[in-house]
Amino acid sequence: MFLIETRIIRADDEEGLSKAAQALKNGKLVAFPTETVYGLGANAYDPEAVKRIFEAKGRPGDNPLIVHISDKGQLKDIVLEVPENARKLMDKFWPGPLTLVLKKSDAVPDVVTAGLDTVAVRMPDNIVALRLIELSGVPVAAPSANLSGRPSPTSAMHVAKDLTGRIEYIIDGGSCSVGVESTVLDVTGDIPVILRPGGVTYEMIGEVCGKVDVYKVGAKAAEKPRSPGMKYRHYSPEADVILVEGENARVVDEINKQVSLAHEKNLKVGVLASEENAGLYKADVVLPAGSAKRPEEIASRLFDCLRKFDDLKVDIIYSETFGEKGIGRAVMNRLKKASAGKIIKV
Ligand code: TXA
Ligand code: MG
Protein backbone atom coordinates (compact mmCIF):
# COMPACT_ATOMS: atom_id res chain seq x y z
CA MET A 1 0.00 0.00 0.00
CA PHE A 2 2.85 2.42 0.79
CA LEU A 3 5.22 2.36 -2.19
CA ILE A 4 5.79 6.03 -2.79
CA GLU A 5 9.25 7.24 -3.75
CA THR A 6 10.39 9.55 -0.96
CA ARG A 7 12.77 12.31 -2.07
CA ILE A 8 15.04 14.00 0.45
CA ILE A 9 15.75 17.64 -0.39
CA ARG A 10 18.45 19.71 1.27
CA ALA A 11 17.14 22.91 2.81
CA ASP A 12 19.58 25.02 0.76
CA ASP A 13 18.43 23.47 -2.55
CA GLU A 14 16.23 26.33 -3.81
CA GLU A 15 15.03 24.46 -6.88
CA GLY A 16 14.19 21.37 -4.82
CA LEU A 17 12.32 23.50 -2.30
CA SER A 18 10.24 25.12 -5.08
CA LYS A 19 9.38 21.69 -6.49
CA ALA A 20 8.37 20.40 -3.08
CA ALA A 21 6.24 23.52 -2.50
CA GLN A 22 4.43 23.00 -5.83
CA ALA A 23 3.88 19.34 -4.99
CA LEU A 24 2.54 20.35 -1.56
CA LYS A 25 0.07 22.71 -3.16
CA ASN A 26 -0.99 19.94 -5.57
CA GLY A 27 -1.89 17.34 -2.95
CA LYS A 28 1.45 15.69 -2.10
CA LEU A 29 2.86 15.21 1.41
CA VAL A 30 6.01 17.11 2.38
CA ALA A 31 7.83 16.74 5.71
CA PHE A 32 9.64 19.92 6.77
CA PRO A 33 11.73 21.21 9.67
CA THR A 34 10.35 23.63 12.23
CA GLU A 35 11.99 25.02 15.38
CA THR A 36 10.04 22.48 17.51
CA VAL A 37 9.87 19.15 15.63
CA TYR A 38 9.52 18.11 11.97
CA GLY A 39 6.00 18.52 10.53
CA LEU A 40 4.23 16.42 7.89
CA GLY A 41 2.54 18.96 5.64
CA ALA A 42 -0.39 18.93 3.24
CA ASN A 43 -2.41 21.71 1.59
CA ALA A 44 -4.90 22.61 4.35
CA TYR A 45 -7.58 23.40 1.74
CA ASP A 46 -7.31 19.95 0.11
CA PRO A 47 -9.31 17.36 2.11
CA GLU A 48 -7.96 14.43 0.07
CA ALA A 49 -4.35 15.46 0.75
CA VAL A 50 -5.09 15.94 4.44
CA LYS A 51 -6.69 12.48 4.60
CA ARG A 52 -3.42 11.06 3.30
CA ILE A 53 -1.60 12.54 6.34
CA PHE A 54 -3.77 10.42 8.63
CA GLU A 55 -3.08 7.32 6.51
CA ALA A 56 0.67 7.88 6.28
CA LYS A 57 1.00 8.33 10.06
CA GLY A 58 -1.63 5.81 11.11
CA ARG A 59 -3.21 8.67 13.05
CA PRO A 60 -6.71 8.39 14.53
CA GLY A 61 -9.12 10.55 12.55
CA ASP A 62 -10.47 12.29 15.66
CA ASN A 63 -7.16 14.02 16.37
CA PRO A 64 -7.10 17.45 14.66
CA LEU A 65 -4.11 19.02 12.92
CA ILE A 66 -2.33 22.34 13.33
CA VAL A 67 -2.50 24.73 10.37
CA HIS A 68 0.84 26.46 9.68
CA ILE A 69 1.04 29.91 8.11
CA SER A 70 3.92 32.11 7.00
CA ASP A 71 2.09 35.43 7.19
CA LYS A 72 -0.52 36.81 9.59
CA GLY A 73 -2.45 37.94 6.52
CA GLN A 74 -3.48 34.30 5.98
CA LEU A 75 -5.42 34.30 9.27
CA LYS A 76 -8.46 36.07 7.85
CA ASP A 77 -9.02 33.14 5.48
CA ILE A 78 -9.01 30.45 8.14
CA VAL A 79 -10.42 31.96 11.36
CA LEU A 80 -13.60 33.90 12.13
CA GLU A 81 -12.04 36.31 14.62
CA VAL A 82 -8.82 37.13 16.42
CA PRO A 83 -9.59 38.03 20.06
CA GLU A 84 -7.51 40.63 21.94
CA ASN A 85 -5.44 38.06 23.88
CA ALA A 86 -4.65 36.16 20.68
CA ARG A 87 -3.51 39.36 18.98
CA LYS A 88 -1.16 40.21 21.86
CA LEU A 89 0.27 36.69 21.96
CA MET A 90 0.89 36.63 18.20
CA ASP A 91 2.66 39.97 18.35
CA LYS A 92 4.90 38.70 21.12
CA PHE A 93 5.55 35.04 20.18
CA TRP A 94 5.05 34.59 16.41
CA PRO A 95 6.89 33.25 14.63
CA GLY A 96 7.48 30.73 17.44
CA PRO A 97 6.41 27.61 19.32
CA LEU A 98 2.90 28.80 20.22
CA THR A 99 -0.22 27.30 18.60
CA LEU A 100 -3.45 29.24 19.06
CA VAL A 101 -6.86 27.56 18.97
CA LEU A 102 -9.35 29.94 17.31
CA LYS A 103 -12.85 29.75 15.83
CA LYS A 104 -12.51 28.31 12.34
CA SER A 105 -13.90 29.65 9.07
CA ASP A 106 -15.77 27.52 6.54
CA ALA A 107 -12.69 27.46 4.31
CA VAL A 108 -11.02 24.95 6.66
CA PRO A 109 -12.20 21.42 5.81
CA ASP A 110 -13.60 19.26 8.64
CA VAL A 111 -10.92 16.62 8.16
CA VAL A 112 -8.29 19.16 9.34
CA THR A 113 -10.09 19.94 12.61
CA ALA A 114 -11.66 16.50 13.14
CA GLY A 115 -15.04 18.16 12.96
CA LEU A 116 -14.37 20.75 15.71
CA ASP A 117 -15.54 24.33 15.18
CA THR A 118 -12.08 25.57 16.14
CA VAL A 119 -8.77 25.44 14.28
CA ALA A 120 -5.25 25.38 15.74
CA VAL A 121 -2.89 27.83 13.99
CA ARG A 122 0.79 28.56 14.29
CA MET A 123 3.61 30.40 12.51
CA PRO A 124 6.82 28.39 12.91
CA ASP A 125 10.11 30.12 13.65
CA ASN A 126 12.16 28.39 10.99
CA ILE A 127 13.18 30.02 7.70
CA VAL A 128 12.88 26.79 5.71
CA ALA A 129 9.34 26.17 6.98
CA LEU A 130 8.33 29.77 6.34
CA ARG A 131 9.79 29.69 2.82
CA LEU A 132 8.06 26.39 1.99
CA ILE A 133 4.66 27.67 3.17
CA GLU A 134 5.15 30.94 1.31
CA LEU A 135 6.18 29.20 -1.94
CA SER A 136 3.22 26.81 -1.72
CA GLY A 137 0.84 29.76 -1.45
CA VAL A 138 -1.53 27.90 0.89
CA PRO A 139 -1.86 27.30 4.64
CA VAL A 140 -0.22 23.98 5.52
CA ALA A 141 -1.89 21.42 7.80
CA ALA A 142 0.84 19.50 9.60
CA PRO A 143 1.10 17.17 12.57
CA SER A 144 4.49 15.99 13.80
CA ALA A 145 6.12 13.83 11.08
CA ASN A 146 6.31 10.57 13.04
CA LEU A 147 4.30 7.37 12.90
CA SER A 148 1.42 7.82 15.31
CA GLY A 149 2.47 7.05 18.90
CA ARG A 150 6.23 7.26 18.26
CA PRO A 151 8.44 10.04 19.63
CA SER A 152 8.24 13.19 17.49
CA PRO A 153 11.07 13.60 14.96
CA THR A 154 13.74 16.20 15.58
CA SER A 155 15.87 15.38 12.54
CA ALA A 156 15.25 14.43 8.90
CA MET A 157 16.68 11.00 9.68
CA HIS A 158 13.97 10.39 12.28
CA VAL A 159 11.34 11.28 9.66
CA ALA A 160 12.94 9.03 7.03
CA LYS A 161 12.97 6.14 9.47
CA ASP A 162 9.20 6.43 10.12
CA LEU A 163 7.79 7.63 6.81
CA THR A 164 9.96 6.49 3.88
CA GLY A 165 7.68 5.01 1.21
CA ARG A 166 4.66 6.82 2.65
CA ILE A 167 5.27 10.47 1.65
CA GLU A 168 6.68 12.31 -1.38
CA TYR A 169 9.26 14.70 0.13
CA ILE A 170 11.40 15.26 3.20
CA ILE A 171 13.16 18.62 3.49
CA ASP A 172 16.34 18.18 5.52
CA GLY A 173 16.95 21.28 7.61
CA GLY A 174 19.12 19.68 10.30
CA SER A 175 18.17 19.32 13.96
CA CYS A 176 15.25 21.18 15.54
CA SER A 177 16.38 23.76 18.08
CA VAL A 178 13.51 23.58 20.62
CA GLY A 179 12.96 19.82 20.38
CA VAL A 180 9.49 19.51 21.96
CA GLU A 181 6.25 20.48 20.26
CA SER A 182 4.60 23.87 20.45
CA THR A 183 2.38 25.00 23.29
CA VAL A 184 -1.28 24.56 22.31
CA LEU A 185 -3.33 27.40 23.80
CA ASP A 186 -7.10 27.80 23.54
CA VAL A 187 -7.82 31.51 23.18
CA THR A 188 -11.52 31.26 22.35
CA GLY A 189 -12.61 32.09 25.94
CA ASP A 190 -11.86 34.99 28.32
CA ILE A 191 -8.96 33.25 30.01
CA PRO A 192 -6.45 31.40 27.80
CA VAL A 193 -6.15 27.68 28.56
CA ILE A 194 -2.99 25.65 27.95
CA LEU A 195 -4.07 22.37 26.32
CA ARG A 196 -0.50 21.13 25.77
CA PRO A 197 2.60 22.62 27.43
CA GLY A 198 5.44 23.43 25.03
CA GLY A 199 8.07 25.90 23.90
CA VAL A 200 6.22 29.03 25.04
CA THR A 201 5.84 28.55 28.77
CA TYR A 202 3.06 29.15 31.30
CA GLU A 203 5.11 31.99 32.77
CA MET A 204 5.59 33.65 29.36
CA ILE A 205 1.87 33.51 28.54
CA GLY A 206 0.99 34.80 32.02
CA GLU A 207 3.17 37.85 31.48
CA VAL A 208 1.22 38.79 28.35
CA CYS A 209 -2.34 37.83 29.34
CA GLY A 210 -2.34 38.18 33.12
CA LYS A 211 -4.33 35.03 33.77
CA VAL A 212 -3.79 31.62 32.24
CA ASP A 213 -5.30 28.21 33.05
CA VAL A 214 -3.87 24.75 32.51
CA TYR A 215 -6.28 22.16 31.20
CA LYS A 216 -6.27 18.82 32.98
CA VAL A 217 -7.60 15.80 31.12
CA GLY A 218 -10.44 14.27 33.08
CA ALA A 219 -10.73 17.27 35.40
CA LYS A 220 -14.43 17.25 34.70
CA ALA A 221 -15.76 13.70 34.55
CA ALA A 222 -17.33 12.67 31.25
CA GLU A 223 -15.96 15.75 29.49
CA LYS A 224 -14.31 15.19 26.13
CA PRO A 225 -10.62 16.16 26.15
CA ARG A 226 -10.27 19.64 24.65
CA SER A 227 -7.02 18.77 22.90
CA PRO A 228 -8.01 15.39 21.51
CA GLY A 229 -4.41 14.33 20.90
CA MET A 230 -3.59 14.36 24.59
CA LYS A 231 -5.69 11.29 25.34
CA TYR A 232 -3.49 8.95 23.32
CA ARG A 233 -0.34 7.17 24.52
CA HIS A 234 2.30 9.22 22.86
CA TYR A 235 5.96 9.94 22.42
CA SER A 236 6.70 6.32 23.17
CA PRO A 237 9.77 4.36 22.28
CA GLU A 238 9.19 0.63 21.82
CA ALA A 239 10.64 -0.23 25.23
CA ASP A 240 8.63 0.44 28.39
CA VAL A 241 9.59 3.68 30.12
CA ILE A 242 9.55 3.89 33.92
CA LEU A 243 10.10 7.18 35.71
CA VAL A 244 11.89 7.35 39.06
CA GLU A 245 11.19 10.44 41.14
CA GLY A 246 12.54 11.72 44.44
CA GLU A 247 15.62 13.12 46.13
CA ASN A 248 18.64 12.84 43.80
CA ALA A 249 20.83 10.30 45.67
CA ARG A 250 17.83 8.03 46.30
CA VAL A 251 16.81 8.18 42.65
CA VAL A 252 20.30 7.08 41.60
CA ASP A 253 20.24 4.19 44.13
CA GLU A 254 16.77 3.07 43.10
CA ILE A 255 17.55 3.13 39.38
CA ASN A 256 20.73 1.11 39.95
CA LYS A 257 18.70 -1.37 42.02
CA GLN A 258 16.10 -1.67 39.23
CA VAL A 259 18.88 -2.12 36.65
CA SER A 260 20.28 -5.06 38.66
CA LEU A 261 16.83 -6.65 38.92
CA ALA A 262 16.29 -6.24 35.17
CA HIS A 263 19.71 -7.73 34.46
CA GLU A 264 18.75 -10.81 36.47
CA LYS A 265 15.93 -11.23 33.95
CA ASN A 266 18.42 -10.82 31.08
CA LEU A 267 16.87 -7.56 29.96
CA LYS A 268 18.88 -4.89 28.16
CA VAL A 269 18.41 -1.72 30.18
CA GLY A 270 18.57 1.95 29.23
CA VAL A 271 18.80 4.90 31.60
CA LEU A 272 17.92 8.48 30.72
CA ALA A 273 19.81 10.74 33.09
CA SER A 274 20.95 14.26 33.69
CA GLU A 275 24.47 14.94 32.50
CA GLU A 276 25.47 15.37 36.16
CA ASN A 277 24.29 11.87 37.11
CA ALA A 278 24.99 9.91 33.93
CA GLY A 279 28.35 8.55 35.17
CA LEU A 280 26.71 6.96 38.23
CA TYR A 281 24.68 4.28 36.42
CA LYS A 282 25.63 0.73 35.52
CA ALA A 283 23.07 0.15 32.76
CA ASP A 284 23.69 -1.16 29.21
CA VAL A 285 22.90 2.20 27.63
CA VAL A 286 23.07 5.44 29.61
CA LEU A 287 22.05 8.57 27.70
CA PRO A 288 22.71 12.01 29.18
CA ALA A 289 19.73 14.21 28.25
CA GLY A 290 21.53 17.39 29.25
CA SER A 291 22.30 19.38 32.37
CA ALA A 292 19.63 19.41 35.07
CA LYS A 293 20.32 23.14 35.21
CA ARG A 294 19.42 23.65 31.53
CA PRO A 295 15.90 22.42 30.73
CA GLU A 296 16.19 23.80 27.16
CA GLU A 297 19.04 21.38 26.55
CA ILE A 298 17.01 18.43 27.86
CA ALA A 299 14.05 19.49 25.67
CA SER A 300 16.21 19.62 22.56
CA ARG A 301 17.64 16.13 23.11
CA LEU A 302 14.69 14.27 24.64
CA PHE A 303 13.11 12.68 21.55
CA ASP A 304 16.45 11.83 19.99
CA CYS A 305 17.38 9.97 23.20
CA LEU A 306 14.07 8.06 23.24
CA ARG A 307 14.63 7.01 19.63
CA LYS A 308 18.27 6.02 20.33
CA PHE A 309 17.10 3.56 22.97
CA ASP A 310 14.99 1.89 20.26
CA ASP A 311 17.88 1.84 17.79
CA LEU A 312 19.99 0.14 20.45
CA LYS A 313 17.16 -2.29 21.15
CA VAL A 314 16.91 -1.84 24.90
CA ASP A 315 14.04 -3.73 26.56
CA ILE A 316 13.29 -1.30 29.35
CA ILE A 317 14.13 2.34 30.08
CA TYR A 318 14.45 3.94 33.51
CA SER A 319 14.35 7.72 33.48
CA GLU A 320 15.07 10.37 36.05
CA THR A 321 12.51 13.14 36.33
CA PHE A 322 13.56 16.71 35.61
CA GLY A 323 12.58 20.13 36.98
CA GLU A 324 9.28 21.57 35.73
CA LYS A 325 10.39 25.21 35.47
CA GLY A 326 9.95 26.83 32.05
CA ILE A 327 10.16 24.34 29.22
CA GLY A 328 10.78 21.63 31.85
CA ARG A 329 7.00 21.38 32.19
CA ALA A 330 6.76 20.29 28.55
CA VAL A 331 9.64 17.83 29.00
CA MET A 332 7.93 16.18 31.96
CA ASN A 333 4.56 16.17 30.17
CA ARG A 334 6.12 14.16 27.31
CA LEU A 335 8.04 11.83 29.63
CA LYS A 336 4.91 11.10 31.67
CA LYS A 337 3.04 10.25 28.48
CA ALA A 338 5.90 8.06 27.25
CA SER A 339 5.79 6.17 30.56
CA ALA A 340 1.98 5.86 30.45
CA GLY A 341 1.93 6.76 34.15
CA LYS A 342 4.51 4.21 35.34
CA ILE A 343 6.37 6.03 38.08
CA ILE A 344 8.38 4.90 41.12
CA LYS A 345 8.51 7.45 43.95
CA VAL A 346 11.43 7.15 46.36
O1 TXA B 1 5.28 22.00 17.37
C2 TXA B 1 4.26 21.53 16.90
O3 TXA B 1 3.14 21.86 17.32
C4 TXA B 1 4.40 20.50 15.76
C5 TXA B 1 5.01 21.21 14.56
C6 TXA B 1 5.07 20.31 13.35
O7 TXA B 1 4.31 22.39 14.29
N8 TXA B 1 3.14 19.92 15.45
C9 TXA B 1 2.51 19.04 16.27
O10 TXA B 1 1.33 18.55 15.75
O11 TXA B 1 2.94 18.71 17.34
P12 TXA B 1 0.57 17.31 16.38
O13 TXA B 1 -0.51 17.00 15.41
O14 TXA B 1 1.53 16.24 16.68
O15 TXA B 1 -0.10 17.87 17.67
C16 TXA B 1 -1.17 18.80 17.59
C17 TXA B 1 -1.89 18.90 18.90
C18 TXA B 1 -2.69 17.65 19.21
O19 TXA B 1 -2.61 17.38 20.60
C20 TXA B 1 -4.11 18.06 18.80
O21 TXA B 1 -5.10 17.33 19.48
C22 TXA B 1 -4.11 19.52 19.16
O23 TXA B 1 -2.83 19.98 18.82
N24 TXA B 1 -5.11 20.29 18.38
C25 TXA B 1 -5.14 20.50 17.04
N26 TXA B 1 -6.22 21.21 16.68
C27 TXA B 1 -6.91 21.46 17.81
C28 TXA B 1 -8.14 22.15 18.10
N29 TXA B 1 -8.86 22.71 17.16
N30 TXA B 1 -8.53 22.21 19.39
C31 TXA B 1 -7.78 21.63 20.37
N32 TXA B 1 -6.63 20.97 20.16
C33 TXA B 1 -6.20 20.87 18.90
MG1 MG C 1 2.44 14.56 17.33
What is the pLDDT, as a whole number, of residue 229? Answer: 65
Low-confidence ranges of the chain (pLDDT < 70): 1, 217-234
**Integer Cα distance of 105 and 280 in angstroms:** 55
**Integer Cα distance of 62 and 241 in angstroms:** 26
For ligand 1, atom 10, the nearest C-alpha belongs to 143
For ligand 1, atom 31, the nearest C-alpha belongs to 227
What is the pLDDT, as a whole number, of residue 143? Answer: 98
What is the pLDDT, as a whole number, of residue 238? Answer: 87
Pocket test for ligand 1, best of 59, 123, 181, 224 (most atoms within 8 A of CB): 181
Furthest CA-CA distance within the chain: 61
What are the pLDDT digits (tens) for 239-297? 999 999 999 999 999 999 999 999 999 999 999 999 999 999 999 999 999 999 999 99
Alpha-carbon distance values, 124 to 106, 143, 252, 315, 341 (Å): 23, 13, 38, 36, 31
Total Cβ atoms within 10 A of residue 10: 14
What are the pLDDT digits (tens) for 82-119? 999 999 999 999 999 999 999 999 999 999 999 999 99
**Integer Cα distance of 178 and 192 in angstroms:** 23
What is the pLDDT, as a whole number, of residue 221? Answer: 46
Ligand 2 centre to CA of 152 (Å) is 6
Q: Are 32 and 7 in contact (CB under 8 A)?
A: no
